[in-house]
Amino acid sequence: MRQFSGMSSGGSRYRRRRQDIESGGGSSGGLPDYEAAYDPFDIVCTKSASVDRLKRWRQAALMLNASRRFLYTLDLKKEEGKKKIIAKIRTHAQVTRASYLFQAYGENANRTPKAPPSPIPTGDYDVSPEQLASMTRDHDIAALQNFGGVRGLAEKLKTNPDKGIPVDESNILDRKNVFGSNTYPRKKGRSFWNFLFDACRDITLIVFAVAVSCALGVETEGIKEGWYDGGSTAFAFTIIVIVRATSNYKQSLLFQNLNVEKHNVQMEVIRGGRRVKISIFDIVVGDVIPLKIGDQVPTDGVLISGHSLCIDESSMAGESEIVSKDLNAPFLISGCKVADGYGTMLATSVGIHTEWGLLMASISEDKVEKTPLQVSLNGIETFIGKVSRVVAVYILVILLIRFFTGHTKDGVGKAEFIAGKTSLWDAVKGVIRIFAVAVTIAVVAVTEGLQVAFTLTIAYSTRKMMADKALVRRLSACENMVSATTICCDKTGTLTLNLMTVVEAYICGKKIDPSNNKSELPSGCVSLLIESVAQNTTGSVFLPEGGKDIEVSGSPTEKALLQWGINLGMNYEAVRSESSLICSFPFNSEKKRGGVAVKQSDSEVHVHWKGAAEIVLAQCTRYMNSNEQLLPLDEAKVEYFKKAIEDMAAGSLRCVAIAFRPLNAETVPTDEEELSKWKLPEGDLVLLAIVGLKDPCRPGVREAVQLCVKAGVKVRMVTGDNLQTAKAIALECGILGSDVDATEPNLIEGKSFRAMSEAQRLLVADRISVMGRSSPNDKLLLVQALRKKGHVVAVTGDGTNDAPALHEADIGLAMGIQGTEVAKESSDIIILDDNFATVVKVVRWGRSVYANIQKFIQFQLTVNVAALIINVVAAVSSGDVPLNAVQLLWVNLIMNTLGALALSTEPPTDHLMDRPPVGPREPLITYIMWRNLLIQAFYQVTFLLVLNFKGRELLHSTHKPNDHAIKEKNTLIFNAFVFAQIFNEFNARKPDEFNVFKGVTKNQLFMGNVGLTVILQIVIVMFLGKFTTTVRLSWQLWLVSIVIGFISWPLAVVGKFIPVSEKPFSEYFTGIFACCIPRHKKEESSRRNEEDL
């Protein structure tokens, strides 16, 4: 966690971070070494921290106000309870299945088959929700067969396995009424009254309330006048409790809203023959749902068709278990993930009728892990509280000694206590007054503004980030972005528009121009190309009625190839009906290709492959010429195609090769079990075509990359595309400056990086700008190497295999459009529009959150330091304080709450991107902040102490009644102190800029809060004097107060000319210790480090 004093973040780009298991900085498999080498309680990042580690950390953390320090941290007891509930539900499901299997085995042994379930008509359907839930929960194949199999069940649910349910709102509403909606009852979060009760229970406030009651509850001025002090203090105490409760309640609501957004997954369903994207909450029973790698199974259901479909059921089984799904094992459980393959399912149970719905309804998600910034703010609060309490006790002791030794004088110079002469009641009243002074000093510890500022900043920023197309899943990610030194991003869809089109094609051994000019192609070649495009795809084509435009769906690559096939004359439905799919190998990011085997109507079998051009080309031995002859690929022809690939890649085109291989039907297994184990032939292929797909760069991406460079954040492209394609896009985006930079290791291939040793990877990782033909594991290795080098790494990803890198990174950024659910769940922030410019906006907002908190801390500490010194000096010298408890509560609470609202909602500015990243161990309070707050505090203390000791002479009020003159002087001090804070609030907006008024009029909330503070101050001084112990001031004294505050503006400008050190305190000590180390020891240490690398 960040420290909060003594070091500056200015100027240092980032500092190397110690590695520890908690931050996830180690390589996989190396965790024991970290345990041995580093402090197990040094948790930099809780993202990957285990519950056991957090538990040990808390057991070792001994502190005051633990209830506040651990507020909104992970509730370890509740976490254990949640696990028990999940285990019970899993156990219940497993026991039910086991009992069913046992019963089924007994029935088979006795040859008494189970009777079909009696239909219980519900609405217009021949099946009830209970029957459907029982069937999927028990994995009851017999029940499914009694319904007539999947087709029969679809008929009972009035849906079509190919086209889905009709697109009719009344039909969808009817299904929700009969079978329920795909939602579950959420546990209510804690109410406002719970937080109010917690605030009242806080030990600091209890002590404060008791002290104030004892000090001011005694009637010293009669019941008519004496109740004002006690009443006003009690009112202020009530406001403290309400503000604290409101702040915590709003933070709780923010977490709840984030959880709702996280679970609002967008899914594809087939309705009326068309693929449409809808919210997971809108799926109904009878929907036909396509599934692909990385998808979440949104409901309980049965498999309609699938190819190599494997489901990860660990979320329900409790163990990592990959289960193959086919017609013999067709039941799919909600909440599980698709690990491999693709298919379609029929939704049979939704919401609370599913095991996942029961599980989610049984657990509460109103607690989240505290962010590092919150921990730092709590540290500042605790520090201020300790200082204030120590000083208050010190003052109490000093004043009591002075009182009982006769050194305390009253208004006429007479000793207030004379041993043996002063009555007991007068002595008690004197002690109570002294106790009230000590309590007044302790009031400085009320720093409600810090937590309010954090809550407001996070709430404001996450709401604005959502408007900027970024959904925050983990609040700590906002803060971590301020430290990001590098972004490892994908190419396709992030730096480019993800709108692909086929612009070049090499078919029959020559270039075809235009790419869809089939007049130059033989009919047999066109027929094979169309068959390959239509069958070897996870996309689809929908032809609307009425002659409307054809709708193509799928990934950008699939859509581009399908559209190219349509341009060649493809009739999608007809082609797919003419042949049947018998086996498939889904596209694999490791092998960079995917294939299918299809059986023709004449029983001939064709194997079709497509994928990365150079990889598929390497598997080809023949090609088809213009006469439909299959000619061998000789060396010259291979070089011709390689040259074509290089030329297209240099033009920033994605190169895809399409090949096929005819098979004898007798060599293909016919048994379903053997077919599931059969591997598609990968060699001896016939090359049909090599096509180039153009995916233009996003507008403004070059400027966004340059903005990152200016901000000290290096952008690295990690893509699965050809190295030449990656180079061309990198030059276009500005990631590479020129061709001179396009040399290894700046430009490196994934397999080359993968083949290096760990020490070699550490040496080259910093220099890598572009990695082409990379696998997800290469991205993970790069992230690990960069983190070991001390970088704070942000990673973008969209595929299931990107999940380890997203989890390993300090900030995982998943793509909202193309990203799979597995990737999204492993991420910290979801980029809803898949745009790199949005990633840069996230960096800006992360820096804005951090900067706004720093602004308020500077403002808050100036108030605390000035108030503490003024009251301490006055109390020690005169035995009384100019700022009483109610006045300090107003300054510390009401004004700081309004100040928090004003400073925490400052929008991000371009100036934030002119700064280097803030290291993860950099202090929260920098040298610049210390300079600013000490200058302002010194000025305020000096002026107000002069008023305190010489105020009556300066105001020419020595001839006035003593009591009124003292009240007038103290009122002026109070008024001037408040106006000093109002003017200093403008200074806090720009801690390191001269023009503090830049953009102030655009922030209407800031201006409104400043205006409201002034109005409230006028009301307090002019009309609430009995409560605040003030008197009305003349217009001249109001002018004096304003002038005292105004001087802080030119003073702040002058102060910014004072240079501050950019070197942290720790480095001074490091330098001293380094000087003490003998030279031969240094040389030996240096030599060992070189050997390690």
Known catalytic residues? 490
462 vs 846: CA distance, rounded Å: 10
Q: Are 433 and 403 in contact (CB under 8 A)?
A: no
- For residue 797, count CB atoms less than 10 angstroms from its CB and return exposed for 0-12, middle for 13-18, buried for 19 or more: buried
505 vs 511: CA distance, rounded Å: 6
Closest CA to 566 of 501, 653, 652, 648: 501
Q: Are 499 and 695 in contact (CB under 8 A)?
A: yes
732 vs 747: CA distance, rounded Å: 15
Query: In the 8-state DSSP scheme, what is residue 910?
Result: G
250 vs 512: CA distance, rounded Å: 63
Q: Are 610 and 687 in contact (CB under 8 A)?
A: no
Query: In terms of DSSP bridges, do strands 770-772 and 747-749 run parallel, antiparallel, or are they unpaired?
Result: parallel
Rounded-to-10 torsion of CA 588, 593, 594, 600:
-170
352 vs 89: CA distance, rounded Å: 13
Q: Are 389 and 442 in contact (CB under 8 A)?
A: yes
94 vs 297: CA distance, rounded Å: 19
1065 vs 1073: CA distance, rounded Å: 13
176 vs 265: CA distance, rounded Å: 19
364 vs 210: CA distance, rounded Å: 36
416 vs 400: CA distance, rounded Å: 12
Element (H, E) at 52: helix 51-60
269 vs 298: CA distance, rounded Å: 11
Q: Are 492 and 819 in contact (CB under 8 A)?
A: no
Find residue 470's DSSP bridge partners: 831
3-state SS assignment for residue 967: helix
Closest CA to 945 of 884, 1028, 1021, 881: 881
Written as six digits, the tokens of 366 are 């109103």
Q: Are 928 and 857 in contact (CB under 8 A)?
A: no
Angle between helices 129-138 and 169-179 (to 10 degrees): 70
Closest CA to 657 of 690, 623, 621, 622: 690
What count of other Cβ atoms lies within 10 Å of the Cβ of residue 31?
A: 13
Written as six digits, the tokens of 52 are 């056991």
Residue burial 302-311, b: 16+ Cβ < 10 Å; e: rest: bbbbbbbbbb
Instruction: For residue 967, give the amino acid letter.
Output: K
Q: What is the DSSP string of 971-1026?
A: HHHHHHHHHHHHHHHHHHH-TT-S-TTTTGGG-HHHHHHHHHHHHHHHHHHHH-HH
Closest CA to 988 of 824, 799, 853, 1082: 853
Closest CA to 504 of 649, 721, 626: 649
